[in-house]
Each structure stands twice: as structure tokens, then as C-alpha cells.
Chains A and B, each alone.
Chain A
Amino acid sequence: MKSPNSPAPASLARYAARWIGSALLLALIIVGLGTFFLPEVDLLALRYAVW
């Protein structure tokens, strides 16, 4: 028997879309900003000690 507290399937889908959508957006912002400001490593240093 269905619990009286269980949401209707349609509203559960909306709920999931809202939460997962927000989380994905936040993750995208984190990855985007994190990548944009990622500290640079001087790969030219590879040649410093080669002569």
C-alpha cells in the first residue's frame, strides 16, 4: 500500500530534475572555474637540464 507521504511520480521526477540539474550546474561551474584558474606548470623546464 502506498505511503501517504510518498510524492506522486510526476512531482518526484520534477524534484529529481531540480536537484540533479542544480548539482550538475554547480559541478560544471566548479570544473569550469577550476580549469580556467588552474595553476600553470612550466613545461619548458623540461629542457633546462638538457644540454
Chain B
Amino acid sequence: MAPQRAIQLLAAGIVLLALLGMGGLWYQRLALRPHSDPVTAVYPPVGDLWLLPNLEGARLMVPDRPSRPQEPMLPIHAGDPVMKRIRSFSLSTNAWRLRNPPLLAKEPGRPRILVLGDSIALGWGVEAEEALPAQLAEALDALGRPVEVLNGGVPAIDTAAMASFCRTDGRKLGVDLLIWNRRPAPNQGMIERYGEHLRLCTEALRVPAIALLHPLSTFDPKAQRGHADEVAQLRGRLAHDKVLLLDAAPLIAEAQQGRGEVYVEEEGAYRVIDQESGEVWLSGEAPREGLADEVYTLFEEESAVEEALFFDGAHPNAEAFERIAAWLAPQVLPLLPAEHPGG
């Protein structure tokens, strides 16, 4: 080969290598690009992620079935080979980063309730009007007590950030009642931390508070196992702070009876049971952590397999929130400020 030819080939090789390298990187990024719009960013006053303000119908696509621990680590993307059961919902926020329309001046005689919490408080996977805060407002309205309920849910929020929110933006909102809607993270020492952050929040807002515990999916065996102990410890911790502790788990567990699929663990074995027909879809040895791989595959392959009142093994659906709101509203009433005479 003539030396000139070899030099030309080498030069072409260098350019080709650069093109292939960048092409590969672009392909990877485009393939991983989620269908979901970004909705959170670090909010310096609270020192953690918070919802972006003034979101207008941001679209989110999320798993519509229980997902493997590593699955949510990759955003859902086009042509996803594993995650085919997907649901989408929209998310709008106001200037206060709340999932509400713009806040107007507080109306006399219409108390303001702040539901502060994580993705379940936010209504992850459902529309704003189907989430707990909106349904609670409706339930209280039906009881003849019109209120304004602020949706301060933020996915995966830490209780420390919730307390920071109360000390910063929260105290400017003119709140009359706080609903602290989160479970303690299942780590050692978390009950104390949970109680302390809740105390800081109520002190900053100077209002009564309800600590509202989430309903639990049967497909979350870890949460199910530790639940009774968690509630008992919380009762002890919160008794000093005069916080009303309410647990939505028994309510929703009872409402699931006879409906849809459930996951049952007994003596180291698991079963996925269709409660309507009594048929056992799957059974086997229960893994130490999470669910057996076959359970996820079952959800992916059998569209009929569906847990009542939850859509992804963690987050309640609209009907669950409606039930919780109807149960919660009468318990909220006595904690609201007295009505104006004749008001």
C-alpha cells in the first residue's frame, strides 16, 4: 500500500472513531431519555429536592405494577423491553410549589389544611383532583365544613426537609391544621427522628397536627412485617407532643378483602392469590428481600393481575384516596378552628 493511502486511511479511522463514539453516547442518552418531564430540583431554602414551581401539566410516566428494586433507577423510556405496564399522570404546581391552583387570599371561615408528605401525599400516579388533599376538601365540604387543602407532597421527601419547609415557606401559608403524611423510614432511630421533625414543624406552624400513616400494599412484605411495631413505637413517641396518630393501613386492608390479587407470606413461603376466584397464581419460597422475580413477571404478562386499591405495590389509587378522605374527614373536623357564629 502506498504510504499516502495508509495515512488517508488512518485519518479516516480517527474521524470514524470520533463519530462512532459520539454516536454511541447519543444513542444511549436518547434511549434512556425518560418520557417524563423533570418535576423536581434542589430547593435551597429546604436544602433538598422539592417540586418545581409553576409546573403546567408536566407529564409523568410511571410503572403500573410492582417494580423490581433496580427498575425505578432507570426512567421509563421508549420501547422499554421490561416495563410495559405504564401509567401516566399530569402534575401542575403553583408559585408555592404546591399541587394546587394559585393561592388566593385566605377566605374568612374557610380553614386552610396543609397535607405535607411524600409521593403518597402528592398523589403519585393519579391526577390532582383524585389525590388525598383534593378528596379531603371534598369530603369536608360534604360534611358542611368548606376548607382549603394544600397539597404539599414531594416524592421521596425526607422528614428533615419537611421540617425545613415548615420553618421557611410553611409558616407563610396561614395554615390552621397540619396533616403530616409520611411513614418513618424503616431504619433504626427513625422513629425518634420522625417525631422530632414533626415537633419542629408543628412548633413553626403553631397549629394542631395529625400524623397520618399510609396504607400498605400486600406486595410490600417488608413494610407489612414491621408495621405493627412501627405504629406502637410511634404511638409512644408522639403521645408527648399531642399529635393525633391515624393509620390508614387497616382501613385499606379491610377494603381489599375479596378483591383483586394479594401477596401472602406465611412461614417462609409466599402465594399470589386471586381473591375473587381463590386461584393461586404463584407460590414459592419467600425471598429474604423484596419479591420473587416471578411475581414481577406475572404482573407484566397477565394484565388481569391487579391489586385492589394500589397500582404499583406502594402507591394507592384514586379509589383508595376517596376511602381515606371519607374516613379522615370526620376526624379532622374537631381539630379545625371554631366556625364563626352564623358562618
Contacts and interface: CB of A to CB of B under 8 A. Distances in A.
B327 interface: no
A28 B21 CA distance: 12
A42 B74 CA distance: 10
Nearest to B76: A45
B75 A42 contact: yes
Contacts, number: 108
B11 A51 contact: no
Contacts of A50: 72, 155-156
A10 to B, nearest CB: 13
Contacts of A38: 25-26, 29
A43 B316 CA distance: 25
Interface in A11-51: 12, 15-16, 19-20, 22-24, 26-28, 30-31, 34-35, 38-42, 44-51
B304 interface: no
A5 to B, nearest CB: 8
A3 B300 CA distance: 70
Contacts of A24: 14
Contact of A39 (B13, B30, B71, B155): B30
Interface string B1-26: 01110011011111101110110011
Contacts of A40: 29
Interface stretch (B59-67, B163-171, B289-297, B332-340): B59-67
Nearest to A44: B40
B179 to A, nearest CB: 16
B61 to A, nearest CB: 10
A1 B157 CA distance: 79
A23 B15 CA distance: 6
Interface stretch (B92-100, B117-125, B137-145): B117-125
A5 B296 CA distance: 70
B275 interface: no
B33 interface: yes
B75 A45 contact: yes
Interface residue range, chain B: 35 or more
Interface residues of A, number: 31
Interface in B189-236: none
Interface of B: 2-4, 7-8, 10-15, 17-19, 21-22, 25-26, 29-30, 32-34, 36, 38, 40-41, 49, 60, 62-63, 67, 71-73, 75, 118-120, 124, 155-156, 312, 314-315
Q: Which 6 A-B pairs have the closest CB atoms?
A: A49-B72, A34-B22, A23-B11, A27-B18, A45-B75, A23-B14
12 contacts: A19-B11, A23-B14, A23-B15, A30-B19, A34-B22, A42-B38, A44-B38, A47-B40, A47-B155, A48-B36, A48-B62, A51-B120
